[in-house]
A = this chain, B = another copy of it.
């Protein structure tokens, strides 16, 4: 079976893909913002809510046990999927943003002091910038960006120099850029950062849907990802952290579940992972996230990555034929993201006119304003982003629609 038949095999798993928009068949190329959900994921949520919903962990009754087992089995699946050393290193969060804030507020407020430096790359999503800015402001520490080359790859020399010059306490790096598609050499970054004595945080939001991820080979200290970009539900994600670090960190949110015992004289906290999981979690989301991982693994990350790489090449060569169009981010190693600008046309106009033709793309700064400023793209880019179910034909339709949009604007 060839890889190009992948979408054929799986498109029928996605009910939304057969809908129309403005009377045209939907072409959904906004997967980096959020992927669509296979039936198995949708049904897992429905099944849970219809058949065994109950609050988890504390309940002795049967439904509570079923729900707890299903929810906790996702923790196990995540641990297996990312090669965690133990299951309790996996903390459920509301998403990547929530996970990074947990690290910044818990690890960061304990370990960052006045005068310290934090490095993050210039291509980070706001979620891996703003929590550190807020921390640095509180602690009078400094947040310093690592430069990005014009082709959208990380400037490793700048990283090396910054490590030497600033001796940072922490280095944050995105595994794959949501704006450029660039897959960063996170192993090398983590090795260099560790050698310089820094703790590392890898933002895997865009890696989880596209790449095999392994904590033991990446060598980071913290890794975060979010379910909804990986065919799972919104509102659920995870933080992975090294056990020793997690054990040493104070809790962040207080409430039920995260305590061992509470009294007004003094409260003691639960062990990891529960120490970081206050309150009733997004149970149906947690369960369905596990189903999404199963679904992805059923297809195989190999096949998905191979298929998406083909799509990126196909899209980039088709787009080359459009005059005045420039692809932004031309790294060799990319996930399924193609950003572009067209001279003289605002991405918002182009995106609106694509929408009118049923093509869903995203335009703007993609929550990476510093990157856009660094690249001199004040209006952002137009971004097409792919998933396992995206076809070459869809990309061809999008390219034709883009040509039409440009004609209308000329």
A262 near B54 with CB under 8 A, answer no
Q: Give the size of the chain A interface in residues (CB under 8 angstroms).
A: 93
The residue on B at minimum CB distance from A368 is B262
Q: How distant is the Cα of A64 from the Cα of B361 in the complex, in angstroms?
A: 10
B127 near A278 with CB under 8 A, answer yes
Q: How distant is the Cα of A22 from the Cα of B60 in the complex, in angstroms?
A: 14
Interface centre among A26, A59, A258, A367 (most CB of B within 10 A): A59
Task: Tell me whether A101 and B255 are in contact in the complex, defined as CB-CB below 8 angstroms, given that A34-B280, A236-B235 are known contacts.
Answer: yes
B263 near A130 with CB under 8 A, answer no
Task: Tell me whether A282 and B94 are in contact in the complex, defined as CB-CB below 8 angstroms, given that A126-B256, A262-B369 are known contacts.
Answer: yes
Q: Which of A218-258 contact B (CB under 8 A)?
A: 226, 228, 233-236, 251-256, 258
Query: Interface-forming stretch among A36-44, A75-83, A186-194?
Result: A36-44
Which of B55, B255, B352 is the one whose CB lies under 8 Å from A60? B352
A61 within 8 A of B: yes
B133 near A94 with CB under 8 A, answer no
Q: How distant is the Cα of A284 from the Cα of B284 in the complex, in angstroms?
A: 11
Question: B residues within 8 A CB of A33?
Answer: 54-55, 58-59, 64
State the oligomeric state as a number of copies. 2
Which of B59, B98, B255 is the one whose CB lies under 8 Å from A279? B98
Task: Tell me whether A62 and B285 are in contact in the complex, defined as CB-CB below 8 angstroms, given that A54-B33, A55-B30, A279-B98 are known contacts.
Answer: no
Task: Tell me whether A54 and B360 are in contact in the complex, defined as CB-CB below 8 angstroms, given that A97-B256, A259-B130, A267-B133 are known contacts.
Answer: yes
Query: Which residues of A come within 8 Å of B, CB atoms?
Result: 15-16, 19, 21-22, 26, 28, 30, 33-34, 36-37, 41-42, 45-46, 49-55, 58-64, 94-98, 100-101, 104-105, 125-127, 129-134, 143-145, 226, 228, 233-236, 251-256, 258-259, 261-264, 267, 278-285, 348, 351-352, 354-355, 359-364, 367, 369-370, 373
